[in-house]
Amino acid sequence: MSEMVERVAKAIHQERFGGKLIWGHYPDSEKACLEEARAAVEAMREPTESMISKGYDHVDYGGAHIESAWRAMVDEALK
């Protein structure tokens, strides 16, 4: 499992259980969250037009600022 999928799964788990279930102790709920996280990350594979536009705002052709562009694109997706 990738680091990003696990990060998203933990966020889903936290949102769902509010810290009442500790990650690492409930394999069934964690497995469900990992499956949902994988689906969520996969759905974001193709950026929307507005995400692409925001990403270009943060890239220069002398040296791309990939982290800044990624954050801007995800922020746009979360609007």
Q: Where in the chain are the domains?
A: 1-45, 47-79
Judged against a pLDDT cut of 80, whether residue 64 lies above it is answered with no
What gap in Å lies between CA 27 and CA 15, rounded to an integer?
17
Name the pLDDT band for 9 (thresholds 50, 70, 90). Answer: very high
Q: Please report the pLDDT score of residue 6 as a whole number.
A: 93
Judged against a pLDDT cut of 70, whether residue 30 lies above it is answered with yes
50-65 exposure pattern, b = at least 16 Cβ within 10 A, e = fewer = ebeebbeebeeeeeee
